[in-house]
């Protein structure tokens, strides 16, 4: 590295570059995933009195976690070495995508040695992946990759242009065939970037498709805040702090405007435009949206996924007041797969139990998956991985 730097330093310039804006970073390696699956964190902070690492790998959720109890990441105190570098090494970790931050004398900060970060609503954390399963599914592998586009589309219903993320599978650009579509919806505080960033949707789809475990499909990731054009920073005058709650959330307008999304996608992409080739799934608020939309357009979706879904809205929208009737219509000719997944300690667990009892009472068939943990992205990545493998092929369901 020193040699390369010297040679190229000569190539580019004899002087000055080192002090100019191109340089960055430091010599600390953090995090370091070790061969024994332990992970070492390091922070150079010679003046700090106490440094902690806070991460979701420090509080493994166990089956004994009482239902409804909240989760928060655990903390570990780091140790300062003689060079002023604080270190902490975990016990061996199960394969997963983990997130963490540091606390230096109580001040929360991201790891300056790790540029891999994700924003969740208004918080930014560092991430790392421990390989194996499911970590490898969330990682970029040496397989054909789909493309990911940020697409502006007109929404006549909302009288605005809006932004969505569209994944087209590897091969799409060089084929003439038409593809099925999965509409994948985010939760409160999220946006059209959430599934591709926090949810690793492109990596999951690339890897499942490459392994023959999922059909090649287009994945459309909308912005579920119908009053907003786009993610924070991507719409005019939107570079303020992202909020969990957005005006107009869950008031029926996103569901009504969803026809605009389908119209645009089916006009601009090579799609298979029948019920057997459309799926819709969402997490939390997006699960609620998927539940409502699949009922509001009862002949459109053969595959429905409710991931840790919100079940109720207090809003008096005619969409929601018509839900019972819409649901009945949807199940006249029932979807091939109505998939419900939730974590045992999710605060929406009881609501989901009640919803399943209602479906049971009506004789509507669904599949149910229960996992450890709460209302967290770890579960939503697991659910997407499971759900995507069930779509669009007779031998998958």
Q: What's the gap between Cα 23 and its chain centre? A: 32
> To 5 degrees, how large is the angle CA 59–CA 64–CA 66?
90
**Radius of gyration, alpha carbons of the chain:** 23
Residues in contact with a copy of itself, total (CB under 8 A)?
A: 102
Pick from 215, 204, 380, 188: nearest CA to 302: 215
Contact map string, positions 52 to 81, toward a copy of itself, x by CB under 8 A: ----------------x-xxx---------
Q: In this structure, are residues 196 and 156 in contact, taking their beta carbons and an 8 Å threshold?
A: no
Identified binder of a copy of itself from the candidate list 47, 62, 64, 159, rule CB under 8 A: 47
Say whether residue 116 binds a copy of itself (CB under 8 A). yes
* For helices 377-388 and 201-210, angle between their N-to-C axes, nearest 10 degrees: 30
Query: Quick one: CA torsion of 219, 221, 391, 128, rounded to 10 degrees?
Result: 90
Q: Which is nearer to a copy of itself, 67 or 362 (CB)?
A: 67
Q: Is 332 in the site for a copy of itself (CB under 8 A)?
A: no
Distance in Å, CB of 217 to a copy of itself, minimum? 17
Give the residue with the Cβ less far from a copy of itself, 142 or 318: 142
Task: Tell me how far apart the alpha carbons of residues 133 and 95 are, in angstroms, rounded to a whole number.
Answer: 6
- Please tell me the distance from the alpha carbon of residue 318 to that of residue 292, in angstroms, as a whole number: 11
Residues 207-266 that bind a copy of itself (CB under 8 A): 230, 232-236, 238-239, 241-245, 247, 249-250
Rule CB under 8 A: choose which of 41, 88, 128, 323 binds a copy of itself: 128
Name which of residues 374 to 393 contact a copy of itself (CB under 8 A): 374-377
Site for a copy of itself in 132-161 (CB under 8 A): 139-142, 144-152, 161
| Minimum gap (Å) between residue 74 Cβ and a copy of itself | 14
Of the pair 213, 268, the CB lying nearest a copy of itself is at 268
22 makes contact with a copy of itself (CB under 8 A): yes
Q: Does 364 bind a copy of itself (CB under 8 A)?
A: no
Residues 278-297, one symbol each (x = binds a copy of itself by CB under 8 A, - = not), give ------xx------------
Sheet holding 85-89, edge to edge: 32-33, 39-44, 85-89, 79-80
* For a copy of itself, the closer CB: 234 or 273: 234
Looking at residue 271, the DSSP 8-state letter turns out to be: B
Burial 186-206 (b: 16+ CB within 10 A, else e): bbbbbbbbbbbbbbbbbbbbb
């Amino acid at each position: 590295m020193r040699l390369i730097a010297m040679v190229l330093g000569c190539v580019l310039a004899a002087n000055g570059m080192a002090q100019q804006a191109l340089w960055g970073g430091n010599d600390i390696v953090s995090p370091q995933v070790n061969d024994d699956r332990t992970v070492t964190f390091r922070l150079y902070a010679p003046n700090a009195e106490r440094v902690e690492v806070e991460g979701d790998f420090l509080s493994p959720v166990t089956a004994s976690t009482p239902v409804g109890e909240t989760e928060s990441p655990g903390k570990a105190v780091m140790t300062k070495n003689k060079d002023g570098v604080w270190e902490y090494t975990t016990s061996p970790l199960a394969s997963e995508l983990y997130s963490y931050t540091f606390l230096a004398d109580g001040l929360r900060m991201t790891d300056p040695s790790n540029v891999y970060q994700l924003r969740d609503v208004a918080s930014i954390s560092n991430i790392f992946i421990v390989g194996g399963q499911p970590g490898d599914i969330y990682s970029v592998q040496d397989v054909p990759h789909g493309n990911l586009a940020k697409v502006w589309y007109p929404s006549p219903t909302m009288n605005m242009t809006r932004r969505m993320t569209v994944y087209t599978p590897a091969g799409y650009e060089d084929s003439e065939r038409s593809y099925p579509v999965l509409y994948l919806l985010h939760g409160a505080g999220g946006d059209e970037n959430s599934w591709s960033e926090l949810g690793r949707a492109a990596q999951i789809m690339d890897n499942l498709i490459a392994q023959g475990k999922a059909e090649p499909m287009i994945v459309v990731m909308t912005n579920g805040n119908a009053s907003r054009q786009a993610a924070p920073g991507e719409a005019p005058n939107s570079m303020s702090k992202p909020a969990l709650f957005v005006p107009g959330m869950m008031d029926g307008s996103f569901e009504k405007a969803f026809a605009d999304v389908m119209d645009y996608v089916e006009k601009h992409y090579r799609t298979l435009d029948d019920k057997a080739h459309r799926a819709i799934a969402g997490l939390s608020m997006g699960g609620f949206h998927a539940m409502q939309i699949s009922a509001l357009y009862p002949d459109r979706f053969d595959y429905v996924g409710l991931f840790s879904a919100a079940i109720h809205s207090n809003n008096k929208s005619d969409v929601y007041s018509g839900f019972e009737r819409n649901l009945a219509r949807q199940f006249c000719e029932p979807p091939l797969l109505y998939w419900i997944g939730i974590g045992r300690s999710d605060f929406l667990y009881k609501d989901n139990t009640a919803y399943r009892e209602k479906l049971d009472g009506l004789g509507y068939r669904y599949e149910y998956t229960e996992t450890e943990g709460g209302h967290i992205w770890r579960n939503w990545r697991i659910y997407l991985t499971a759900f995507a493998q069930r779509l669009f092929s007779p031998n998958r369901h």
